[in-house]
Amino acid sequence: MKTAEIVTTVEALRARVADWRRDGRRVGLVPTMGALHDGHLSLVAATQSHADRTVVSIFVNPAQFAPHEDFDRYPRTLQADAGKLGDTADLIFAPSVAEIYPEGFATRLEVWGPAAGLETDFRPHFFSGVATVVAKLLIAAMPDVAIFGEKDYQQLLVIRRLTADLGLPIEILGAPIVREADGLALSSRNAYLSAEERVVAGRLNLILRDVATRLKHGDPVAIAEQFGRSDLLEAGFNSVDYVAVRDAGTLQPVSDPSRPARILAAAKIGATRLIDNLAV
Ligand code: PAF
């Protein structure tokens, strides 16, 4: 099967995008860290209804990992990723670390607003690392549209904020979470789970559904969140970072989820940290 061309430099990326623009094409970007699964492929498919040409970036971004996190063992599978994309992508941008962060690089973006709390309470380095690399990728490709999965819901809002604040003329779209049959959200990190951990992992989404049901039946937010936390521990998660019901647009705490809200959770099984979220 035909696979997309792989370029590794910003210069080559810009040259290909400039060719498409000369032909009047709309360009879409799907930023990823590789180890592609059906969730990523759904982002590529979604891009195709908003753009004529699709670039997939594959870059394991050191700036969004803390020293104790899994940067070194994060799967790097470029050839397999290119095979999975087949001809659904027009170009793969797979830069080296030095291409994105050349010698002397000394800039880091800080986003407030939706970046406050939740992930930031447990991974304080994370969103500035994501914001820095996503800004670089957007500025390098200058697409008309870029698409991100709703599994990383807080990340999606942070990227929307960043794009608006920097005045980048790029539409940021979110795409629905793709799940396994038992409800587990697809994630490259699911590959770390042992067979027993994988069974426990499937409970995360079901427990978020229970939290949603409790809210629907009138349980106060704090009580529903507390049940979510204790149900996760009972199901076999060894720690729970948060189960939180937040305003879907701002991620501010809500006391009464009558406005669109989102239940967000992060919990660990063994050494693997999983996140998920659900609209209510
Ligand atoms: O969601 C991811 O895979 C990453 O955080 C992203 C947006 C590609 C930035 O490295």
State the distance from the centre of ligand 1 to the C-alpha of 31, rounded, in angstroms: 6
Q: Which of 108, 132, 133, 139 to mutate to test the pocket of ligand 1 (most atoms within 8 A of CB)?
A: 133
State the distance from the centre of ligand 1 to the C-alpha of 215, rounded, in angstroms: 31
Domain final residue pick, 105, 140, 175: 175
Predicted local confidence at residue 164, as pLDDT: 98
CATH of the domain at 244: 3.30.1300.10
Ligand 1 proximity of 130 Cβ (cutoff 6 Å)? yes
Ligand 1 proximity of 32 Cβ (cutoff 6 Å)? yes
Domain final residue pick, 143, 175, 207: 175
Predicted local confidence at residue 2, as pLDDT: 83
27 located within any domain: yes
Please give the number of the atom of ligand 1 that sits closest to the Cα of 188.
Answer: 3
Predicted local confidence at residue 259, as pLDDT: 82
State the distance from the centre of ligand 1 to the C-alpha of 271, rounded, in angstroms: 20
Predicted local confidence at residue 237, as pLDDT: 98
Biggest CA–CA distance in the chain, Å, is 58
50 located within any domain: yes
CATH of the domain at 80: 3.40.50.620
Same domain, yes or no: 136 and 43? yes
Same domain, yes or no: 38 and 83? yes
Same domain, yes or no: 251 and 124? no
CA angle centred on 189, ends 29 and 164, rounded to 5°? 35
181 located within any domain: no
State the distance from the centre of ligand 1 to the C-alpha of 235, rounded, in angstroms: 29
180 located within any domain: no
pLDDT tens digit at each of 280 positions of the chain? 788 999 999 999 999 999 999 999 999 999 999 999 999 999 999 999 999 999 999 999 999 999 999 999 999 999 999 999 999 999 999 999 999 999 999 999 999 999 999 999 999 999 999 999 999 999 999 999 999 999 999 999 999 999 999 999 999 999 999 999 999 999 999 999 999 999 999 999 999 999 999 999 999 999 999 999 999 999 999 999 999 999 999 999 998 777 899 999 999 999 999 999 999 9
Please give the number of the atom of ligand 1 that sits closest to the Cα of 60.
Answer: 10
Residues 43 and 175: beta-carbon distance below 8 Å: yes
- Domain range for 241 is 188-279
Ligand 1 proximity of 128 Cβ (cutoff 6 Å)? no
Domain final residue pick, 120, 142, 175: 175
Cα–chain-centroid distance for residue 52? 23
Predicted local confidence at residue 163, as pLDDT: 98
CA-nearest residue for atom 3, ligand 1, is: 32
Residues 154 and 251: beta-carbon distance below 8 Å: yes
CA angle centred on 12, ends 10 and 16, rounded to 5°? 115
Per-residue HEC secondary structure of the chain comes to CCCCEEECCHHHHHHHHHHHHHCCCCEEEEEECCCCCHHHHHHHHHHCCCCCEEEEEECCCHHHCCCCCCCCCCCCCHHHHHHHHCCCCCEEECCCHHHHCCCCCCCCCCCCHHHCCCHHHHCCCHHHHHHHHHHHHHHHHCCCEEEEEHHHHHHHHHHHHHHHHCCCCCEEEEECCCECCCCCECCHHHHHCCHHHHHHHCHHHHHHHHHHHHHHCCCCHHHHHHHHHHHHHHHCCCEEEEEEEEECCCCCECCCCCCCEEEEEEEEECCEEEEEEEEC
Q: Which of 152, 157, 173 to mutate to test the pocket of ligand 1 (most atoms within 8 A of CB)?
A: 152
169 located within any domain: yes
Same domain, yes or no: 197 and 127? no
Same domain, yes or no: 153 and 227? no
Same domain, yes or no: 142 and 219? no
225 located within any domain: yes
Same domain, yes or no: 127 and 227? no
Same domain, yes or no: 167 and 196? no
Ligand 1 proximity of 54 Cβ (cutoff 6 Å)? no
Ligand 1 proximity of 158 Cβ (cutoff 6 Å)? no
Domain count for the chain, please give it: 2
Same domain, yes or no: 150 and 230? no
Same domain, yes or no: 162 and 242? no
Same domain, yes or no: 145 and 24? yes
- Catalytically active residues are 40
Predicted local confidence at residue 271, as pLDDT: 92
Same domain, yes or no: 171 and 196? no
Tokens of 194: 């042992």
